[in-house]
Structure 1
Amino acid sequence: MNRLRNELVVYAGRLRVDPWARDIGPAWLLIRDGRFAEIAPGRTRPGEWPDTCASLDLGRAVVLPGLVDSHVHLTESGDGAGEDVSAARTVSERVELGVRNARTALRAGITTVADCGGPPEAVFEVRARASALPDCARTLVAAAPITTVRGHSWRLGGEAPDAASVRELVTRFALAGADFIKVMASGGGTPGAPPWEPSFPEESLRVAVETAASLGRPLKVHCLSAGSMRTAVAAGVTLIEHGKFRTAAEDGGGFDAAVAYLLAKTGTVICPTLSVGHHVLAAPPEVSGDAAALWRRRHPYDLEDFRHLVESGVRMVSGTDAGWRFTPFDALPGELRMMAGAGMANREALAAATIDAAAALGMGDRIGRIAPGYQADFIAADADPVDDLTALDRLHAVARDGQVVR
């Protein structure tokens, strides 16, 4: 890891400023105070640039924006430990775990992560620590997910019995410094809160939408059933986490074309988190236990439902749910390959992890592309991921805010 510098000059053998750029060629990047200051195409370093600052020659590597994982849980372990184990951890233990996980993410080229729910006292401290450590991913946090009484993830501290309580929690978390707000519109993996059961009524979700907007905070809403998505969209939600079609039968029969049409018509964005099932099935059987049988049924249907959503024109951003079940914090490159294998073009999947993810988080003017004024987050691969997404597994350099960590 290099020492802190105010200026850095980087030579890119091929520069991809964003996934939609059609021509990539050699370029020079001048980074000043953690941001891209100037970009000069060509092989010749501009003569007027300072010649006393540090430089990094990336040869023929393809340099592109750092990746964004829009859905992680930094204070969870990703080793299959249940909620009881997680709840028993102290705040200090959760913070140390969160910092380690943010470090793992950055080394994988994930320069920004969005923590979608944890104990507020822990996740705020993780964000502060990660911000001060150049080898950790930039961390955005939601505080505790807002859920019904004994709803999904209720132990994290976000129970709300009614619309007034929803408003109070959204306000409290935003004023405490949450970067965005997370609400559970359906059950999930918490015992007693099955995913096919909707949580909040439309009125409560509308209160969350309006309060978050009034406080300038993006709102992410967890939906694992067609009914919960229908209610969320009716309430004005525009960013849905997971976007699954779970039913009590778990037979894959829950896909609803009318809901897919509604999502596409309203421009609602889905963060699909396909990695969860993949990593449950990749875990050793003696570790995954009963979860493996459940996800052997679910995962193929999730991939097929994702394909139908893409074909319907639903917009996607990338997120892995890292920390939940067996999902590791370096899973995003694999998530993008699953998205591409289930209906998206490579270019679209890469956009879902850069410019589109940044926009959904309200940071489209700061991260997600290489341009003057943007945070100097970049990765360097041996090939262009638009042609070969496996290139994201072969990184030669990773930098957050101009600080090179590998």
Structure 2
Amino acid sequence: MHRLIPTSLAGLLACVPALAPHAAPPPLALDQVRIVDIETGVSGSPRCVRIEQGRIVRVTRAGSRTCRRDAGIVELEGRYLMPGLIDMHAHLTLGPLEVRQDGDAVVGEALPDDAIADHNAARLVGFGLTTVRNPAGDLPAAMRYRERRARGAVTGPESFDAGTVINDADLPGLGTGVATVADVQRVVAAQVAAGADWIKLYTGLTPELLQAGIDAAHAHGRPAVAHLEDVAWTEALPMGLDGIVHLMPISPDLLASGDADAYRQARRPGTFGFFEWWERFDPDGPEADRMVAAFDRYRPVFDATLVAFHAAFVQDQDDSPYRADAERYAHPRLLGNWTSFFTFALGWEADDFARARAVWPKVQRMAARLYASGARMTLGTDMSNPWIAPGISLHREMDLLAGAGVPNARILAAGTRQAADALGAGDRLGRVAVGYEADLLVLDGDPLVDLAQARDAHAVVLDGRYLDRTELAALRGGE
């Protein structure tokens, strides 16, 4: 969720273990394993799961000879098996945000870095993530990552990719500026031709250009997802928008009329709206009711990325867990960028941080309401933005949602089957069932009871290959 130059930022101012090149993995039998049934919220009795050619081909009784025949057998002694996790907001290839002076102009760029992509990919798998949606970035870099992964040169999750965000200003590596409907149509067509799975629309677009982006995406058979600020969610969803990102719906038009006028007059440039808007919003008021009703009616794909905002709200505290995560797991170039310059709280003073933390219960309350709606709720982190380290941040997101009162089963569904369905891949990802791809987590305990079990997996099965704890630790950086 970079704030794009010049409309926003001008106001703000390894060694990666790799799988062997892709010979098909041998048959694998996971025996004596309990399947976590996210649909019913109940984990079953021990079973045997057989995997061939990277897919689940049999789920049968524990100890079945048919399941075990001619397979590599892993005796799992009653451990738990669930689908691999999906991060729907992971900027896999994004490089650090850099700003330079070009004459009188301030120029920004966030150029991709293949080394960062491979670093992120390994740590994602190390924390049990087997699929990501890359919601904005350089498409050639994304295609290069796909190629490296396909030939086994890097261990990483499958990636569904958008191109650069379509906005009112250019930011090389992250944003493409448009001024007319024809511009929007041209950019969308080019992104689709370059391999985009999604089209990402951004905060600087007028309602007319937002509508043009949605229509152009649909004309090419692609979903359109948006990060919105001044355009209200309740205005954008009837346009046919397929998805919304970030639980920061900070449009004045989503406030009661008196509060809306006061907010417009008092708001400051930059990210102060991340808390100033919430100070005027009632998550149990009629405006919130209208937002929930819109989610129920239009059922957008949604990822809250609570972790990105909570990390900003507490970044002034020495004991911030997000700083510790970043120091341990983020790529050094990104960490250096966040430490020296780029944060979402750029320009905040002590009082601003205190005000931000004071509104956090409102953010949690709204999250609980939206995750109880009929929308297509997923999990996302905004990985590669400040303090959001790969892999571990999805578990932080799960913890924040649980702290908001979202049930464990709902959180796990959002991070597996609902995300797979939202990606259009629900027929092959996100479930433990015959015919599905073998992207799986083996856990020591039941995550329906304790979400923390998913953070420290006993093993990960990625494309049918079994990665044990030692291999996962190496992927996380040799911890």
TM bracket (short chain): 0.7 to 0.9
Give the 5 Å matches for 1:221-370: 221-224=226-229, 227-246=231-250, 248=267, 250-251=275-276, 252=278, 253-254=280-281, 256-257=287-288, 258-281=290-313, 283=315, 285=317, 287=339, 290=347, 294=352, 296-298=354-356, 300=360, 301-310=362-371, 314-330=375-391, 331-370=393-432
Give the deviation of 1:263 after TM superposition. Answer: 2.2
Q: Report the residue type matching 1:302 in the other structure.
A: V
Structure 1 partner of 2:47? 27
What do the CA deviations read for 1:277-330 (whole angstroms, capped 9, x no partner)?
233355565846746855654461432332343456554211111111111111
Contact 2:313 2:356 in 1 (8 A): no
Identity of counterpart residues, as a percentage? 26
Query: Matched residues in 2 for 1:380 and 1:403: separation?
Result: 12
Query: Matched residues in 2 for 1:144 and 1:266: separation?
Result: 25
1:397 aligns with 2:397: no
Query: Matched residues in 2 for 1:297 and 1:348: separation?
Result: 30
Query: Matched residues in 1 for 2:211 and 2:305: separation?
Result: 24
Q: In the superposition, relative to structure 1, how do residues 292 and 18 fare at CA in structure 2: closer, same or farther (>3 Å)?
A: farther
Query: Matched residues in 2 for 1:317 and 1:154: separation?
Result: 28
Give the deviation of 1:346 after TM superposition. Answer: 0.6
Give the deviation of 1:109 after TM superposition. Answer: 0.4
Counterpart selection for 1:102 from 108, 113, 121: 121
Q: In the superposition, relative to structure 1, how do residues 228 and 124 fare at CA in structure 2: closer, same or farther (>3 Å)?
A: farther
Q: Report the residue type matching 1:354 in the other structure.
A: T
Q: Report the residue type matching 1:203 in the other structure.
A: E
Q: Please, which moves more after superposition, 339-348 or 299-308? A: 299-308
Scaled by the length of structure 1, the TM-score of the pair is: 0.85
3-state DSSP class of the match of 1:323? coil
> Which runs of 5 or more residues in structure 1 are unaligned?
187-198
Counterpart selection for 2:446 from 384, 389, 398: 384
Q: Report the residue type matching 1:64 in the other structure.
A: M
What do the CA deviations read for 1:46-93 (whole angstroms, capped 9, x no partner)?
x3346323222222211100000000111236xxx54439966765xx
Query: Matched residues in 1 for 2:191 and 2:118: separation?
Result: 21
Q: Report the residue type matching 2:79 in the other structure.
A: A
Counterpart selection for 1:136 from 156, 165, 186: 156
Q: Report the residue type matching 2:136 in the other structure.
A: G
3-state DSSP class of the match of 1:309? helix
Query: Matched residues in 1 for 2:396 and 2:111: separation?
Result: 31
Give the superposed CA RMSD: 2.8
3-state DSSP class of the match of 1:362? coil
3-state DSSP class of the match of 1:52? coil
Counterpart selection for 2:85 from 59, 63, 67: 67
Give the deviation of 1:244 after TM superposition. Answer: 1.6
1:9 aligns with 2:13: no
Give the deviation of 1:32 after TM superposition. Answer: 1.2
Q: Please, which moves more after superposition, 387-396 or 22-31? A: 22-31
Structure 1 partner of 2:327? none
Give the deviation of 1:169 after TM superposition. Answer: 1.6
Contact 1:240 1:269 in 2 (8 A): yes
1:84 aligns with 2:99: yes
Structure 2 partner of 1:206? 211
Query: Matched residues in 2 for 1:279 and 1:355: separation?
Result: 27
Query: Matched residues in 1 for 2:81 and 2:69: separation?
Result: 22
Query: Matched residues in 2 for 1:205 and 1:157: separation?
Result: 15
> Which runs of 5 or more residues in structure 2 are unaligned?
1-17, 101-106, 253-266, 268-272, 319-338, 469-479
Give the deviation of 1:379 after TM superposition. Answer: 0.3
Q: Report the residue type matching 2:183 in the other structure.
A: S
Structure 2 partner of 1:216? 221
Contact 2:376 2:422 in 1 (8 A): no
3-state DSSP class of the match of 2:29? strand
Structure 1 partner of 2:189? 171
Query: Matched residues in 2 for 1:284 and 1:127: separation?
Result: 37
Scaled by the length of structure 2, the TM-score of the pair is: 0.73
